[in-house]
């Protein structure tokens, strides 16, 4: 099958359609640049997978379970912009519901395709395996409607309408969609329909003008404006526009925790991460003392605002979202972010830049090579090894907090599931990132507890020839959970079994470079060797930290804040 270019339609409208439902579905996915689909085989999706095996241009990447495949599809989409997942009915799709909910929460477009029992069996309400034994074949779709932006039951008659519609909605909303197709219909020829035309997505001119005028008034009165980038800057592909805006306006730029990687951290306008009261006090002063805050793609969640200690003056904030703008307390609907950003560029505002030299947390640190590993020392080492174009996947927990203040090189893709925060996400997501961009260096930073949830996907990485560098932080349990619980101490439920992490590759039948390190010198030596080995094979460095309470400074500030809050509640 010839590769289509982006201007061609997946199916022509002339003559009798020769494409089957399955072939047309894969044509549409291939048209979007999807060259791999993740998932797990099951008897209700055999027809889909048989069609895919005969299809040219898309490879099936089978995970060890649907949970991991969903995470992998999420990671793939964060690198390539969109992804697809195939599961079987009931047992398979419910396994994938957690990662799909995470993709919904974090604005990641995943096309989730479910193979269901044959049409005749569904129509007769037969008691089929992988069901609730009640003859109801709609229950799982009804559940998925809560965690997807769109859902449809595919048939030969509606395939040419429903598939493009679902993909369009996934791309517009940056959220997963759900398509279910009966096993016997996959190989049926589609009925040619008039393909739906995507509605024009343009800002309302009058509302855009009103928002622009209001924003200009705020900016004209400002002496210390700042740009604050967040996660939806990345999700809706606004990085280039924001960079142009920052250069045109010449004002400081800070990033929120979810939005790490949304702005070039080597740029002279970048001042660091704004993590409320838990982060750098200098960045906190710059943002909170600003008399005009241009916030782009902001999400005011608890874990993104340092337990809501971020104090942003709403009266001087211009909150630019994908399809609306809030200026002070006025909301302007149907105003798209790109139009609003371009309007700012036309204001002609020119700041004086940031006069003081910014001090980044991990820029300087003196280490003794024989000293035991501690967060204060190993994060500066990890910062120094980062390269332009790297892909970093950071597990929620200790690493997520510590790596947030590592200064990235340019064009780095930074992946962390800060909002949904499902532990175990990062390892399968690394598989997805490796598959999406085999030419780029991929680094995974995960904890011992998180790795134990989804370690199977290291087997998939070895099987598919992926070569990430994996850093495993072995600090004897769920350190982040210990920090979050200020009510009790020495909880047994935060302890975990001791694994021989560096032996996992051997257990999975693969070849990997591994090292166990306890000191800064050993860590630097292992990294030097891994940088050589990673061109040929997967690398894993286990970092053993003796103090189970060792943590980065922002976690310590978080703990102190939570202890103070708990004490104040007890005193009331």
Q: Which of 129, 142, 302, 560 is catalytic?
A: 129
Rounded to whole angstroms, how far apart are CA atoms 380 and 362?
A: 5
Residue 542: active-site member? no
Q: Which of 157, 323, 481, 553 is catalytic?
A: 481
> How many C-beta neighbours within 10 Å does residue 192 have?
16
CB 478 within 8 A of CB 449: yes
Q: If residue 179 lies in a helix (H) or strand (E), which one and from where to where?
A: strand 177-182
Residue 230: active-site member? no
Query: Long-range pairs for 3-9 at CB < 8 Å and ≥24 separation?
Result: 3/30, 3/57, 4/30, 4/31, 6/31, 9/195
Residue 475: active-site member? yes
Q: Which of 27, 32, 36, 66 is catalytic?
A: 66
Rounded to whole angstroms, how far apart are CA atoms 130 and 44?
A: 9
**What's the count of helices (H) and strands (E) in the chain, helices before strands?**
22, 19
Do β-strands 59-62 and 292-296 pair in parallel, antiparallel, or remain unpaired? unpaired
Q: What angle do CA 236, 237, 239 make, to 5 degrees?
A: 125
Q: Which of 297, 421, 424, 447 is catalytic?
A: 421
| Tokens matching residue 203 | 């800002």
SS (H, E, C) 112-141: EEEEECCHHHHHCCCCCCCCCCCCCCCHHH
Q: Which of 8, 13, 43, 123 is catalytic?
A: 43
Q: Which of 98, 107, 319, 475 is catalytic?
A: 475
Residue 342: active-site member? no
Q: What angle do CA 546, 547, 548 make, to 5 degrees?
A: 110
Q: Which of 121, 230, 448, 522 is catalytic?
A: 448
Burial tier of 302 (Cβ tally within 10 Å: 0-12, 13-18, 19+): exposed
Q: Which of 39, 230, 477, 554 is catalytic?
A: 477
Residue 421: active-site member? yes
Residue 448: active-site member? yes
Residue 247: active-site member? no
Rounded to whole angstroms, how far apart are CA atoms 504 and 169?
A: 40
The catalytic residues are: 43, 66, 129-130, 421, 448, 475, 477, 481
């Amino acid at each position: 099958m010839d590769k289509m270019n982006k201007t061609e339609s997946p199916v022509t409208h002339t003559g009798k359609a020769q494409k089957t439902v399955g072939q047309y579905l894969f044509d549409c996915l291939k048209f979007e640049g999807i060259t791999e689909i993740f998932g797990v085989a099951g008897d209700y999706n055999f027809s889909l997978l048989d069609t895919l095996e005969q299809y040219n241009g898309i490879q099936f990447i089978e995970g060890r379970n649907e949970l991991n495949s969903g995470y992998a599809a999420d990671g793939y989409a964060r690198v390539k912009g969109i992804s697809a997942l195939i599961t079987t009915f009931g047992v398979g799709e419910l396994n994938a519901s957690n990662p799909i909910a995470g993709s919904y929460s974090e604005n990641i477009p995943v096309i989730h395709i479910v193979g269901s029992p044959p049409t005749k069996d569904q129509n007769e309400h037969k008691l089929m395996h992988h069901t609730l034994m009640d003859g109801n074949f709609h229950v799982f779709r009804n559940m998925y409607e809560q965690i997807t932006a769109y859902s449809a039951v595919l048939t030969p008659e509606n395939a040419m309408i429903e598939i493009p519609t679902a993909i369009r909605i996934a791309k517009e909303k940056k959220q997963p969609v759900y398509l279910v197709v009966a096993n016997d219909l996959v190989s049926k020829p589609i009925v040619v329909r008039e393909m739906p035309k995507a509605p024009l997505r343009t800002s309302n001119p009058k509302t855009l003008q009103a928002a622009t005028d209001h924003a200009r008034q705020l900016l004209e009165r400002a002496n210390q404006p700042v740009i604050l980038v967040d996660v939806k800057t990345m999700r809706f592909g606004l990085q280039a526009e924001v960079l142009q805006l920052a250069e045109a306006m010449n004002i400081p730029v800070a990033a929120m925790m979810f939005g790490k990687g949304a702005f070039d951290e080597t740029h002279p306008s970048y001042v660091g991460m704004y993590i409320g009261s838990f982060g750098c006090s200098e960045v906190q002063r710059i943002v909170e003392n600003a008399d005009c805050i241009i916030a782009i793609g902001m999400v005011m969640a608890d874990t993104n605002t340092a337990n809501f200690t971020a104090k942003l003056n709403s009266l001087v904030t211009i909150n630019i979202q994908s399809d609306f703008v809030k200026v002070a307390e006025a909301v302007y609907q149907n105003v798209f972010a790109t139009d609003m950003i371009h309007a700012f560029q036309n204001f002609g505002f020119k700041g004086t830049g940031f006069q003081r030299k910014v001090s980044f947390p991990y820029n300087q640190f003196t280490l003794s090579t024989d000293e035991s590993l501690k967060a204060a020392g190993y994060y500066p080492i990890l910062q120094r090894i980062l390269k332009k174009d790297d892909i970093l996947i950071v597990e929620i927990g200790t690493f997520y907090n510590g790596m947030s203040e590592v200064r990235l090189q340019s064009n780095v893709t930074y992946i962390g599931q800060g909002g949904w925060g499902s532990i175990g996400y990062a390892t399968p997501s690394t598989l997805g990132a490796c598959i999406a961009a085999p030419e780029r260096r991929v680094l995974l930073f995960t904890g011992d507890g998180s790795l134990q949830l989804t370690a199977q996907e290291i087997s998939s990485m070895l099987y598919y020839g992926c070569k990430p560098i994996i850093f495993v932080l072995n600090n004897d349990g769920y350190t982040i959970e210990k920090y979050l619980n200020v009510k009790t101490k020495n909880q047994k439920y935060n302890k975990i079994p001791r694994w021989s992490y560096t032996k996992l590759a051997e257990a999975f039948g693969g070849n990997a470079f591994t090292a166990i390190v306890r000191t800064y010198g050993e860590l630097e030596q292992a990294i030097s060797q891994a940088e050589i080995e990673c061109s040929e094979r997967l690398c894993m460095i286990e970092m053993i930290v003796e103090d189970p309470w060792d943590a980065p400074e922002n976690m310590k500030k978080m703990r102190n804040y939570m202890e103070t809050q708990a004490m104040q509640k007890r005193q009331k």
